[in-house]
Structure 1
Amino acid sequence: MATERLPGEAGSAAALLWRPRVREGDGGGEGLWGRGGSGDAELARTLFPAQAAALVAVGALWGGSGPFLRAAAAGMEQLRGRGRLGQLLAELRFLSRRRQYLLPFLLNQAGSLLFYLTLASTELSLAVPLCNSLALVVTLVTGKILGEDIGGKRAVAGMLLTLLGVSLCVAGV
């Protein structure tokens, strides 16, 4: 009975974040990672602090970069290329030469990488709504700070309802 090792050993930050995800019904026997035990099904539904922090960071990276990407891509509508391929190349050239676009783009991609890594240990039904709703809230707040029109009272009400939904989701209600 060989036991696989987790990414990172006990006590390290990686071990806290990337805990094994155990399917319901794996309560006995070897479990998903050969660790066994009756609490494995409950372990799968637990959101550890490091996982929660990673999911919040993903929401912040995705949501915070969106308004900056929109602002940096301004003026791209006037580009004209010959045919579809020429248009695509003109747009890629335009965006790849702008530092104000590349930095938010790289931050957004870092959020995607962190999301991918966090999915290895977090329930999909919790991670996706949490990240996407927090990204929406951060996008609205960042857009307001940058002077964008975010939609007034209805947007604020939507943000509050989103935060309520995330709270209920995390609390497990």
Structure 2
Amino acid sequence: MSELIPTITGGAGGTVDTAGLRQVFGRFPSGVTAVCALDDDRVPVGLAASSFVAVSLDPPLVGLCVQHTSTTWPRLRDRARLGLSVLGDGQDRICRQLASKQGDRFAGLDLHRTADGAVLLGGASAWLDCSVESAVTAGDHDLVLLRVHRQCTHPGRGPLVFHESGFHALASLGAAS
């Protein structure tokens, strides 16, 4: 039998090389989401997250991962509702703006506030109105499950994709069989 894959490497004693693992993680494309709400002073607060996943239809749950070093997540996690906007192709500037550590993250953005305090971004591919269901510590992140209360899609708008440290748009290869 011939070797079909290259030799898999790791650190001494079975440890994993962090830089190599980051490179592997970068090979998996992900959608980019904005998670936003109004804080106690009714000021928008939010972050960009590319570690988003659909979890369950019944009950309706989605998940995302947030770094423990985030200074924004503590301001979001106790909100009654969170707006989750699946960013659309061409909205990479918005992602960079929300990920910035300085300046007004919401300057010039098309914001839509819900009655219960969620904030949704105009032009997104899809929107979810959610509440925090649970969170568990997972290494250097919190894995957060969000219960979906309402949803909406923007027909014809493809998602923004993050892959190998860059933003991309999807190209259709035809309908699935």
Q: Which interval holds the TM-score relative to the shorter structure?
A: under 0.3
- Give the structure-2-normalised TM-score: 0.23
- Give the structure-1-normalised TM-score: 0.24
* Structure ranking higher in helix proportion: 1
* Structure ranking higher in strand proportion: 2
Q: Which has the larger radius of gyration?
A: 1
